[in-house]
Amino acid sequence: MLKYLIDENVDPLYAVQLRRLQPELIVCVIGEPATPTRGTLDPEILLWCEEFQFILVTNNRSSMPVHLKDHLSEGHHIPGIFILSRTLTIKQNLDELILIAEASFEDEYQDQIIHLPLTQRK
């Protein structure tokens, strides 16, 4: 199963609800013990995600593509980056994250930025 690292700028409700709705899913938040400290720069967060095999869940649409490009150009890899949708509700974003965690295979999102939603919504 995938492991999620929730960016410090994402609403804390995401981690609370993911842990409640999917207790077997490993969910960490920047600033918690054994994670990067709050204020850690994005390139360092990507290195941590690579080392510990966590997918970064963020709402950083502007600089994250640049950081990922730099990360990859230095020969690094990352399990993936999920960017939350501004048009979905928190519940809809949570449903997407849970579905992805349940239905994905290992390395499916490696070195990619994925913009939610993955599923079709009407």
- In order of their start, the domains of the chain are 3-115 (3.40.50)
This prediction has a pTM of: 0.96
pLDDT tens readout for residues 48-106: 999 999 999 999 989 999 999 999 999 999 999 999 999 999 999 999 999 999 999 98
Q: Which residue, among 14, 30, 9, 34, has the nearest Cα to 95 in the 3D structure?
A: 14
Token pair for 73:
């150009």
117 prior amide bond cis, ω within 30: yes
Is the distance from CB of 37 to CB of 91 less than 8 angstroms?
no
pLDDT per residue as tens digits for the range 76-90: 999 999 999 999 999
